[in-house]
Structure 1
């Protein structure tokens, strides 16, 4: 009996020692796995994962650490293979967060269901609530952004991500007063955060507090936000009508970014505000020097040169537009080339015109007729002028052109009928046309 008891005791000791050895081995292997995950050594990490899986396939830690390894390498789908199992074995907050974060990164359609389930377990988890907030921002669910941010602030009133989200939320609603309040609170917590500084510049500019806006934008000069901050400052000075400072920062921006179309367009905005034509010549010099092309800008400048009868300068811009786009059309370019007697080019451009309304049809017929008239193609000119007259018989200019072309084509009978038709509506014109064309 004593021998049996002794044997049982020895067996128990042996099993205990063996079990403790397994436990120690598992613990050491787990430490090794964690160590190599931190070192980002995939091969050795997977080696210890397989060892641990053989020892106990129901423990969550090996799956969690290996999932984290793939997560930090941005292989989110592979991370999910491990984290899904880890979460099924253990619903610790860290495990659920990393699992949900990987779902978020892969735009998984089940993300919202999974994060809501996790928040039932940890309703006051800051990182889980913030992850849900980031999801609503990512998917542009603005009402949900508001409610999610408010929930976070209800138990963490200085959470900077929630404050920043509300600053952007109210910015989109054009409630700049509340937007200012939230971005100011966010900057009290992280006063050197460049993204917050940039948004502060945007928000205060919208609320027309231009000096305050420039205060934030100027902090970002020579940072990764440099280009857009400089252009924000330029806009603010233009809005303040501080032209000297406007030009200083425009020149600074162009020295740094000589091919910046955005900055050149700021000069065009200055021209629209001041109507100082020297600004247009300055833009012309900048575009020429820096070899910049922008269809919208070229069309605007071409039109402005046309308006003041600088036809050759206007032609320079229209030539480039046609060179870049064989289907280019504008009403001003048609007229510009007619006035320069470049009739073939004018006719090519007008052939690209899409007629959307009566005004377009009137323009097309009128200037197509003029082109044919100037090319001495009298029958074609008559065709277009007659159609034009049928559309708009009250336009004295159209009547003059039609009368003139009828005279060229010796159609005196039709000419007299035409002149007679305007006797009551335009008596003065009637008398002039009658004396000129009817003998």
Structure 2
């Protein structure tokens, strides 16, 4: 938990803490922050604040929050639906900002400290069995993985599911992805009510969604199996269940079906932490920039390295990814704060070094090119309906993009091991001995 309504649950860090009997880490500063050039720093900060406040993106995010993306993704044909069997949900899907605003469900906005955007909506359920529940969100990812991906269209069930995940400290993306996986197994007859503790675990059953979240949290019955995530749950269930687990490196995919913009598939496959969108997202460029073919491979490796640089740089510097100011501005702010002499290019080099370092870590832990791949649902199964009907990402297309990505990163194509000259370029000579071990 890193805020009242925010849980840093993605990737299972809470489970790691729990295994170590670690409850919390509390930090209280006792010293002032020394600014190299206060006058220049505050001038730049005021300019950045005003520019952000005046942007159209800020206006849209304030009014619609990230839930506007639900409607857009559905129209683009990239909205994960029923365990990624398709990428288009019903037109009357309630989990979008327009529905929430029209029905008075959102009653206020909420911002991170000192942020002019206030992109988060605090919503309240006014009637029905969950009346009175107040939730910050659901954000787009949560609404999609707990909603359309589980076939649940009613906002109240999805909001309740979101509230439970917040309360239990569970990742909404992996929770929704894992339950959707179980729902497909149930509908295919691979599991039955005898396995699910009597729960009718079909797509669209909001009550079943709620009950299964509780069972996962307390590791009760079938919930104890699903608590491990879809990859390990599939191994335990057997009977071909692994075919329907939608994950990369054990992490369930987020709320953008890559079959509608295949560079996103590359982003998932080569992600150092698994199936996430936080490391790279350039789907809008793929779909709307005439330079790219959304179903083609050309230029996608370069596009997503650029996206990785921008996103990783924002993480390193502590900037929100919604603040679209550009790295020339970020470099000036950093220099005024610290006395450094960074440029956009030097900041990008820092991010490239980070990616090379995390690659070395993963290689040391046993991951290799074989793990930089996509699940059969994406490579073998075509989208069943909507604007992207019939699309998939064949392995030959994925591997072509990975080859180009490795080459641009300065890694060998066989296993994605960084080349010696790459380590020297990034002043990482201390890891050259590690390369020799990896190549044996």
Q: When the two structures are superposed, what TM-score results if normalisation uses the length of structure 2?
A: 0.22
Between Structure 1 and Structure 2, the one with more helix by share is: 1
Q: When the two structures are superposed, what TM-score results if normalisation uses the length of structure 1?
A: 0.22
Structure number, greater radius of gyration: 1
Highest RCO, 1 vs 2 (Cα 8 Å, sep ≥ 6): 2
